[in-house]
Amino acid sequence: MVSTIKTLQKRIAVSQQLQPADFILRNARIADVFSLIWTTADIVVADGMIIAIDSTGSFTSVEEMDAKGRCVVPGLIDGHIHIESSMLTPSAFGDVLLPHGVTTVVTDPHEIANVAGVEGIEFMLKDAENSPMDIYVMLPSSVPSTSFENSGAKLEAIDLQPLLTHPNVLGLAEVMDYPSVLRGEEEMLAKLAMTQEAGLRIDGHGAGLQKEQIRGYRAAGIQTDHECVTAAEARDRISQGMYVLIREGSAAKNLNDLLPTVTSHNARRFLFCTDDKHLDELVDEGSIDHAIRLAITAGMEPLQAIQLATINAAECYGLSEKGALVSGFEADFILLDELETFKVAAVWKKGIQIAEHGVMLNATPSQEKCSVRISQSVHLPAITKDDLAIPFSKGSKATIIEIIPNQLVTNKVIENVDVVNGAFVANVEQDQLKVAVVERHHHKHTIGLGIVKGFGLKQGAVATTIAHDSHNAIVLGTNDVDMLVAIEALQDIQGGLVVVNNGRVLASLPLPVAGLMTQVPLEVAVKSLFELHEALHSIHPNLDFHLFLTLSFLSLPVIPSLKLTDTGLFDVTTFQHISIEAHEKADH
């Protein structure tokens, strides 16, 4: 927090009791995250800063409150999140998270950047300013994820460089294209070099990497990993000088596996993150507060868990006035009804109470207005059944994507399929459905077609513009008519999620902000989401996994083994497009 002479003068005067403070939270049991002890004292606040932790009761203030001996901890920090995964804009996202005590997040606007490039990142930065939450940005390092698809934007070092001087930009986000790092490709290294030159941080993405590869990451200056899934990986990252972000999100849940690696000696190198967490789960169970609860349940000393969630995250990202309750730090703190369950009674941001018992006292009044590029980002072609036809020779075997419910990885299987009039037709009994990825950014009219199994849809079609990472439209269907209706519906609502049956849209969640996010009030969004789930269950009564989540990652061509982009079926193992008609022997 940059200070003027005048604000410094006020803070010092208050600290010396020459003038009253703005606010005092009296009789608080305060977490000391530097020494891991509790101290009972008053928290004295002026100008959004903590001015004193005072045990004499001698300070005076304009306003005060009695904590009645309850625990007070620093505002929580999420070290790595993609806000778009919540389907909310940053300002609305803040309203959901702040009541849970999360006062600062470090976000990677990777999704909107794939749709709208720098304009998308700037929208996120601007909208973030509407929120009392501190929202810092790491610049997306891999847009698009591969050259085997058409995205809305391509971001090179020269595009990102001007953003490095933005006060809320902390560095370069998860460098996930490890082959290009380890091959020393110039365009990737240009991004790393410019970030280092700016004195900023570089996040890694060491999913499944061996220590030899992590070594290459470190040689390249990459400093964090949030993709550890085993204790051995976490220990390796720590021993190689990385910070480890223990992730507990909607899909990836690594906390219980990683927690045993935290010791009193190495604890300073661990922090928490959610990475991707959906709206309903954020509302229901929270985010970093949920991680603390899980850690306490798993047997971690509460103060240790709180340290990970506060000062450790602040130190990792160089936020030198955040994460502790001491004079000279920002007055972000949480009053707890109970420590063990981490039940949040009230939350203060920069010394102002903003939430009570899970509810914002004042919702964020305004959201950033979207530019046309962002609000009108869906440019789907008018397509016909012919466009969805998969020509197929009778008797041939088909290369089919087999999804694994709730997972990002898929299997490649070879099977016989039904063919009518020289083209594939879906077979719900065999669970062989049609899937299409339709380019929706630049009128390219590219449509990738594939056959998928594992979704178990018995009727109708579903479609969404949340289709990682390029966020084209992806549609899954039991018949072409419903698929066409679904695509048309996505165009009508400017992106989002739709459920279609018998030629009719059963439910939809419009996400007109880049086809990824909504700006409607939270309760409206939650209601739409509920109705969408109801509709989905009406055409898929036995559904027991995140169908839209699984569908959304079917188009991500960097995760094995078989994926579909708008330019066709893609074999991630060999990193090339392949044809649907298999030249291999069928499995059955």
Stretch that binds a second copy, among 97-105, 141-149, 190-198, 524-532 (CB under 8 A): 190-198
Under the binding rule (CB under 8 A), the answer on residue 586 touching a second copy is no
Residue 488 to residue 447: CA distance in whole angstroms? 14
Task: Single out the residue of 326, 360, 419, 522 in contact with a second copy (rule: CB under 8 A).
Answer: 326
Instruction: Give ∠ CA 200-206-211 in degrees, rounded to 5.
Output: 110
Task: Single out the residue of 241, 260, 422, 521 in contact with a second copy (rule: CB under 8 A).
Answer: 241
Stretch that binds a second copy, among 100-108, 327-335, 394-402, 554-562 (CB under 8 A): 327-335
**Residues of 197-236 as b/e, b for ≥16 C-beta within 10 angstroms?**
eeebbbbbbbbebeeeebebbbebbbbbbbbbeeeebbbb
79 burial class (0-12, 13-18, 19+ CB within 10 angstroms)? buried
Backbone angles phi, psi at 230, to 5 degrees: -125, 155
Under the binding rule (CB under 8 A), the answer on residue 15 touching a second copy is yes
320 burial class (0-12, 13-18, 19+ CB within 10 angstroms)? exposed
**Looking at beta carbons only, is 306 or 433 nearer to a second copy?**
306
Stretch that binds a second copy, among 248-256, 266-274, 404-412, 478-486 (CB under 8 A): 266-274
582 burial class (0-12, 13-18, 19+ CB within 10 angstroms)? buried
Give the nearest distance from C-beta 55 to a second copy in angstroms: 10
- Give which of 450, 454, 475 is closest to 399, Cα–Cα: 450
Instruction: Tally DSSP H helices, then E strands, for the chain.
Output: 18, 31
**Looking at beta carbons only, is 187 or 587 nearer to a second copy?**
187
Measure CA of the first residue to CA of the last residue in the chain; give whole Å.
65
Under the binding rule (CB under 8 A), the answer on residue 266 touching a second copy is yes
**Looking at beta carbons only, is 57 or 328 nearer to a second copy?**
328
Give the nearest distance from C-beta 75 to a second copy in angstroms: 15
Residue 572 to residue 564: CA distance in whole angstroms? 10
User: For residues 469 and 110, is the Cβ–Cβ distance under 8 A?
Assistant: yes
**Looking at beta carbons only, is 11 or 277 nearer to a second copy?**
11
Give the nearest distance from C-beta 272 to a second copy in angstroms: 18
Under the binding rule (CB under 8 A), the answer on residue 189 touching a second copy is yes
Chain length of the chain: 588
**Looking at beta carbons only, is 260 or 521 nearer to a second copy?**
260
Give the nearest distance from C-beta 332 to a second copy in angstroms: 14
Under the binding rule (CB under 8 A), the answer on residue 412 touching a second copy is no
Residues 210-239 that bind a second copy (CB under 8 A): 212, 214-216, 218-223, 238-239
**Looking at beta carbons only, is 190 or 389 nearer to a second copy?**
190
The beta-strand segments (E) located in 47-142 are 49-54, 61-66, 71-74, 76-81, 102-107, 134-139
Under the binding rule (CB under 8 A), the answer on residue 329 touching a second copy is yes
**Looking at beta carbons only, is 295 or 483 nearer to a second copy?**
295
**Beta strands 270-273 and 243-247: pairing type?**
parallel
How many residues lie near a second copy (CB under 8 A)? Answer: 59
**Looking at beta carbons only, is 232 or 363 nearer to a second copy?**
232
**Looking at beta carbons only, is 184 or 208 nearer to a second copy?**
184
Under the binding rule (CB under 8 A), the answer on residue 208 touching a second copy is no
Task: Single out the residue of 182, 522, 543, 578 in contact with a second copy (rule: CB under 8 A).
Answer: 182
Residue 356 to residue 335: CA distance in whole angstroms? 9
Residue 28 to residue 55: CA distance in whole angstroms? 10
**Looking at beta carbons only, is 216 or 456 nearer to a second copy?**
216
Give the nearest distance from C-beta 123 to a second copy in angstroms: 26
Give the nearest distance from C-beta 267 to a second copy in angstroms: 8
**Looking at beta carbons only, is 234 or 398 nearer to a second copy?**
234
Under the binding rule (CB under 8 A), the answer on residue 36 touching a second copy is yes
Residue 524 to residue 510: CA distance in whole angstroms? 11
Task: Single out the residue of 5, 359, 372, 420 in contact with a second copy (rule: CB under 8 A).
Answer: 5
Task: Single out the residue of 192, 462, 513, 549 in contact with a second copy (rule: CB under 8 A).
Answer: 192
User: For residues 71 and 336, is the Cβ–Cβ distance under 8 A?
Assistant: yes
Cα dist. 181→174, 175, 190, 253 in Å? 12, 8, 11, 27
Stretch that binds a second copy, among 226-234, 320-328, 415-423, 517-525 (CB under 8 A): 320-328
CB proximity list for 168: less than 8 A, separation 6 or greater: 125, 128, 135, 136, 137
Under the binding rule (CB under 8 A), the answer on residue 165 touching a second copy is no
Task: Single out the residue of 320, 341, 502, 573 in contact with a second copy (rule: CB under 8 A).
Answer: 320
**Looking at beta carbons only, is 268 or 546 nearer to a second copy?**
268
At 94, is the secondary structure helix, strand, or coil? helix
At 75, the amino acid letter reads: G
Residue 211 to residue 240: CA distance in whole angstroms? 8
Stretch that binds a second copy, among 257-265, 364-372, 427-435, 458-466 (CB under 8 A): 257-265
Under the binding rule (CB under 8 A), the answer on residue 328 touching a second copy is yes
Stretch that binds a second copy, among 176-184, 288-296, 546-554, 558-566 (CB under 8 A): 176-184
Residue 74 to residue 375: CA distance in whole angstroms? 37
Stretch that binds a second copy, among 31-39, 94-102, 364-372, 488-496 (CB under 8 A): 31-39
Peptide bond into 571 cis (omega under 30): no
Under the binding rule (CB under 8 A), the answer on residue 393 touching a second copy is no
Residue with tokens 């009039």: 421
Residues that bind a second copy (CB under 8 A): 2-5, 8-9, 11-16, 32, 34-36, 39, 49, 51-53, 181-182, 184, 186, 189-190, 192-193, 196-197, 212, 214-216, 218-223, 238-241, 263-266, 268-269, 315, 318, 320, 324, 326-329
